[in-house]
A and B are shown apart, each in its own frame.
Chain A
Amino acid sequence: MSDRFVIFNARLIDPASGRDETGGVVVESGRILEAGAHVRPPASPSPADLDARGLCLSPGLIDLRVKTGEPGGENKETLETASAAAAAGGVASFVMMPDTDPVIDSLALVDFITRRARDRADVKVYPAAGLTLGLKGERMSEIGLMHEAGAVMFSNGDQAVEDAGVLRRAMMYATGFDALIASRPDTHTLTRGSVMHSGAFAGRLGLRGAPPEAEWIALSRDLILAETTGARLMIDTLSTGRSLEVVEQARARGLKVACSAAAYSLVFNEIDVGDYLTYCKVFPPFRPESDRLALIDGVKRGVVDAVVSAHDPQPPEDKRLPIADAAFGAVGLETLLSALLGLVAEGRLTLLEALRPLTSGPADVLGLPQGRLSTGAPADLVLFDPDAPWLCLRENLVSRSKNSPFDGRRLTGRVHRTYVDGRLIFRRG
């Protein structure tokens, strides 16, 4: 049993079971054989065993929104570099968005991503397929075939489907395969040309703002269509407190709908755009502080199923521009865990509350076996120090692109090791 090892003296954080206890995990053949307080330090540890010395051990993170540049934008990020960045951030699985060039909207491309990821990526990569051809919002893609080929969700990427008729028929069709549709709540006619949140700060800076109404209107529309068609829906990155209320009202009526929030929405507010910082130009934009606090509360209460990195690599030539001309997007894989651990350090969340939308929450949205420390689950694990302070500097990021709004910020919590199927894929120091 050469591939068996034990991690002991760990603080186990397993949101799926609600466990926060000192113990260990026994891994064999890439799976968890045993996990819990009863896993004691071995009498004579083998070289493969690890004394965690009190560090936290949790399921490897699952990130439901990552963009890479492959295919078509390899100067931004490849599957290989995205995987390395993920591993450094404790992310063992991620969903890759279809906004590539070409768009992932055909069987062959889903297959290409799957094979490419198997060859080049250490972490598990799950393709999200385009809901409409070319993400144009006009004609539905081959949802059934791509579902069979392993596409875990169907998304129109960064653009919402504007035509409600197209979305409604795609939802109806998707029910035949019980396929998950991820929809970004945005009303483009209200946010076209926007740079940041529409508010007093944008008014002062003389920048065009995105009003939150754009999110609320689209959210309500999508929820109504999901209810009437019976489609499985995930609201992809909601960003305001009022959106959470709308989701909760829909759930109270019996609708099963999932929702995610970007990690940056829990950390930054509109003021952080500061002196026209293009690294802070993201969509959905940084919102007012009241929305940030409401989203943290949504995580605490379990309303938010998944917190995502919304990783969106952009090279300097697309960011070192006047903010109106700069590209949207921020890298986030390497700061995802720290973003939440910072909220734990501030006393806003417990470790279990912070890890749930990074592990069992997204696993349940996709129906994945990982994301939990239970017997038989894949041994995707992350070992981290929840208190370690570090300074995030863009030049130290593993990601090929360095456009992080955390650049220059002090963060809390550092990943020590990342395992995928029992294999050590990242180790710091």
Chain B
Amino acid sequence: MLRRILSLIIKEFLTLWKDPKSRYVIVAPPLIQLVLFANAATFDVTHVALGLWVEDTAHPATELVSRFEGSTAFDVVAHFDNPGDVERALSAQRVKAVLHLGQTFSADVLSGRPAKVQLLLDGRRSNTALIVQNYAASILEDFQRQRSPKPDAGLQLETRAWFNPNYDSKWFILPGLTVLLTAVATILITALSVARERELGTFEQLLVTPLRPMEILLGKALPPTCIGFVEANVIAGVAVVVYGVPFIGKILLFHVAVAAFAISTIGIGMVISSIARTQQQAILGVFIFLAPAIVLSGFATPIANMPLWSQELTRINPIAYMVRLTRSIFLEDVSWAIAWHQLWPMLLIGIVTQAYSTWLFARKLQ
């Protein structure tokens, strides 16, 4: 029995490696996506195009303006003197925000009256707008503190972001990407390997050999697991070495997590491949599963922001568990005890899907 499975595994690796198409699937898309996501998938906002509409040329106003001009977050690209121009520039996306200081600003500040600074933002990209607003607020706060060195009974918030003090997008995109690409590779390889054999007729050839269904499934599941491990390690390595993402967690835990995750994704790939008759159907099946699974995984946007029903859906999504777990391994050095909460659901999903696909295979033979 061991000999038969071993032959099957060797064959799987050989076909994967010798077929240029499969080689391409394993190597090219992950590489392209790694480079693309690491650089293009960013929520960081830099070099905000800022317009100035300053109706006050007295002292404190010019000081505030020069603070904005000196800030690395903003690039002052336009000056306005009437609301019409402001509106046109914002509509045409020439500026993302306009800082408006009214005529009485300096006088109000100097006389101790409450003074107003207006910030007009292009709200089309709400996320960017919020961040720009934060930038402006912190410049203003500095300005105020400077002006009244003895702060009144005001509050001073000292914010610290644990695990990612500089709010670097790459730190959360890349660990998530490790999971995503591993998921795509394992599911696609698993789903396609059976469908391809079915299309070429070799699957029937396998079925008339003394291999039992269990042995075929085992032989089909192990190679993608190995590839999943390699892929996860390579991408994690690139994230750490090239992009400087810290890895402070336990390496053993990372590998245990990858194993549990691979069991679950390969189970899903198996279910797809036991339903699909052709490679095209398999690809479609993979897509139908992956598209929502990735969207609802917390990879790009937090699960907590989703409506309740889709938060419930993430409970059956292995990618959601793994994204959360991988990020906490990378950045938080999560403990085994806490990791277990993410590990067992993946294992459960894996066991259920593998059992289901075995049952489907057995049934199909009848």
A binds B: no
